[in-house]
């Protein structure tokens, strides 16, 4: 929330000022937020930023610098988790530090790409590659930018420098006309905030561990998990919408123009709210939730594992990285293991329905569409809640107790489908269809 007055000050007094003043402003305000929340523990972020700058300067545009950055920043973060984590939801210096860790790793990779021949890079890598040599003040301003320091979103150094140079505006030569788009995201975030605040005392993960929950019928336990699984994500939705509004207000959210000439302000969007609320697939939720972090993992981790020659292996390793990045609790590993399993099964099921004439004809019956949608959403959010149970309860003794109470339904359901669907595909997809696909 403090980002809004900071953004207004920046817009009216600093937008077209000298770069060093803007970097100083971002550094000072970010450090102030860090001190307000974490006191003297702000030295953790300061230390990692200074050391990262030294790695870039001393090791240059080398793979050694990239690997050193990855190892140092991740080990520092994991050590922080090890020494500070409890069995509850921790809001400590490690929370913004996980955001900073990705920023600094991405910075090192982009700096490394900047030293390569442009023709050897993909179009995406060319967009983010850093050709110049960042100063310490630039790295600090980039890292401490008040609109993203605490909870994200992720953005590149090149995008940040466009902001500093006054390029991120829909009206060249003037401050961006972004007040209304920013207020829309803020207002939407406040709607989620009010809803979460009013309902959070009544829908809690702690209830999953009670005897009262265990004593209810099986259907009730599943329905509670379904409702809680959707509701628990709203605190993240709230934070990302509010901070996105700050980014839009400064101009950082500017993302060019649509075909009709209307300005787009979604460069820092971490949520696609309509897709999140309406899409009945797990892949839809993944595509609409924590967008910039997922894009970061895809850009700097998943696609860099192309040499492995196995998409599923690359995806599995990316999710393992995400689990460790979130923390050392076993619940994170279980949650992302479930995501990996569910996405594979969902793709198999979609392929079967698409290629089987019987199932595709059945799926096309208009009058049954609402029923299909209801069934899909029920399965979707029940097992989203199942996965989030481990994520939010952290330790094995807690999530194992809840999983036992519903007989490991999620694991049994998706592991069964993982083995059944290939045989169903053989039985239900005509050989001609398979030969046509091969051709």
- Residue-wise pLDDT tens digits, 31-70: 999 999 999 999 999 999 999 999 999 999 999 999 999 9
Last residue of a domain, one of 165, 193, 218: 165
Tell me which H or E stretch contains 236.
helix 234-250
- For residues 429 and 353, the answer to whether their CB atoms sit within 8 Å is no
Q: Residue 397: what pLDDT?
A: 95
Mean pLDDT of the chain: 95
Q: Residue 88: what pLDDT?
A: 82
Q: Residue 436: what pLDDT?
A: 58
pLDDT confidence band for 111 (50 / 70 / 90): very high
Section 173-187 average pLDDT? 96
Tracing tokens 């009216």 back to the chain, one arrives at: 12
Section 101-117 average pLDDT? 97
Q: Residue 389: what pLDDT?
A: 97
Q: Identify the DSSP state of 62.
A: S
Section 76-85 average pLDDT? 95
- For residues 376 and 280, the answer to whether their CB atoms sit within 8 Å is yes
Q: Residue 42: what pLDDT?
A: 96
Section 414-418 average pLDDT? 97
Peptide bond into 250 cis (omega under 30): no
- Residue-wise pLDDT tens digits, 377-394: 999 999 999 999 999 999
pLDDT confidence band for 434 (50 / 70 / 90): low
Domain annotation covers residue 300: no
Q: Identify the DSSP state of 298.
A: I
Q: By mean pLDDT, which of 168-177, 271-280, 424-433 is the weakest? A: 424-433
More confident call, 134 vs 434: 134
Q: Residue 432: what pLDDT?
A: 65
Domain annotation covers residue 219: no
- pTM for the model stands at 0.94
Last residue of a domain, one of 130, 165, 200: 165
Burial class (CB in 10 A: 0-12, 13-18, 19+), 385: buried
Domain annotation covers residue 142: yes
Domain annotation covers residue 371: yes
**326 classed as catalytic:** yes
**141: phi then psi, degrees, rounded to nearest 5:** -60, -45
Domain annotation covers residue 411: yes
H-state helical runs in 267-368: 273-278, 282-288, 291-297, 311-326, 330-355, 357-363
**290 classed as catalytic:** yes
What is the tally of structural domains in the chain?
2
Burial class (CB in 10 A: 0-12, 13-18, 19+), 130: buried
Catalytic residue among 216, 326, 411, 425: 326
Expressed as residue numbers, the domain containing 136 is 2-165
Last residue of a domain, one of 165, 183, 202: 165
CA distance linking residue 73 with residue 48, whole number of Å: 7
- For residues 129 and 110, the answer to whether their CB atoms sit within 8 Å is yes
Counting DSSP H helices and E strands in the chain, the numbers are 22, 0
Nearest 5 degrees, angle CA 258-CA 273-CA 146? 80
Domain annotation covers residue 158: yes
Taking CA atoms, 182 is separated from 64, 66, 107, 157, 185, in Å, by 41, 35, 27, 22, 5
- Residue-wise pLDDT tens digits, 250-298: 999 999 999 888 999 999 999 999 999 999 999 999 999 999 999 999 9
Domain annotation covers residue 127: yes
Q: Residue 130: what pLDDT?
A: 97
Catalytic residue among 290, 292, 294, 329: 290
Taking CA atoms, 175 is separated from 144, 165, 242, in Å, by 22, 12, 21
Q: Residue 439: what pLDDT?
A: 54
Section 160-167 average pLDDT? 97
């Amino acid at each position: 929330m403090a980002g809004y007055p900071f953004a207004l000050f920046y817009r009216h007094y600093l937008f077209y000022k000298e770069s060093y003043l803007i970097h100083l402003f971002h550094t000072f305000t970010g450090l102030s937020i860090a001190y307000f929340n974490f006191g003297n523990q702000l030295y953790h972020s300061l230390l990692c930023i200074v050391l990262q700058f030294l790695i870039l300067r001393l090791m240059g545009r080398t793979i050694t610098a990239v690997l050193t950055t990855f190892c140092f920043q991740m080990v520092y973060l994991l050590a922080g988790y090890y020494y500070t984590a409890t069995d509850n939801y921790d809001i400590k210096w490690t929370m913004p530090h996980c955001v900073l860790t990705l920023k600094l790793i991405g910075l090192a990779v982009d700096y490394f790409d900047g030293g390569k021949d442009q023709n050897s890079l993909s179009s995406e890598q060319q967009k983010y590659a850093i050709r110049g040599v960042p100063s310490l003040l630039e790295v600090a301003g980039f890292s401490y930018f008040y609109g993203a320091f605490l909870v994200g979103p992720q953005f590149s150094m090149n995008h940040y420098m466009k902001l500093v140079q006054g390029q991120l505006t829909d009206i060249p030569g003037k401050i961006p006309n972004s007040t209304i788009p920013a207020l829309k995201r803020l207002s939407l975030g406040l709607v989620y905030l009010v809803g979460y605040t009013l309902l959070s005392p009544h829908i809690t993960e702690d209830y999953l561990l009670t005897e009262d929950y265990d004593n209810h019928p099986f259907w009730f336990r599943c329905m509670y998990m379904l409702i809680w699984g959707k509701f628990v994500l709203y605190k993240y939705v709230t934070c990302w919408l509010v901070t996105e509004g700050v980014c839009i207000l400064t101009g950082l959210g500017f993302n060019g123009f649509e075909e009709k000439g209307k300005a787009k302000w979604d460069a820092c969007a971490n949520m696609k709210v309509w897709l999140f609320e309406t899409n009945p697939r797990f892949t839809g939720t993944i595509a609409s939730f924590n967008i910039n972090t997922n894009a970061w993992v895809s850009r700097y981790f998943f696609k860099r594992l192309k040499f492995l020659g196995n998409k599923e292996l690359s995806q599995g390793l990316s999710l393992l990285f995400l689990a460790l990045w979130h923390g050392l609790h076993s619940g994170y590993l279980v949650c992302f293991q479930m995501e990996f399993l569910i996405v594979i099964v969902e793709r198999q099921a979609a392929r079967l329905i698409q290629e089987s004439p019987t199932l595709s004809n059945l799926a096309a019956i208009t009058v049954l569409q609402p029923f299909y949608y209801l069934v899909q959403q029920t399965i979707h959010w029940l097992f989203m809640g199942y996965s989030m149970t481990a994520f939010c309860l952290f330790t094995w003794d807690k999530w194992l107790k809840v999983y036992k109470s519903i007989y490991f339904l999620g694991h049994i359901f998706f592991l069964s489908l993982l083995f059944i669907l290939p045989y169903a595909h053989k039985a239900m997809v005509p050989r001609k269809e398979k030969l046509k696909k091969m051709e």
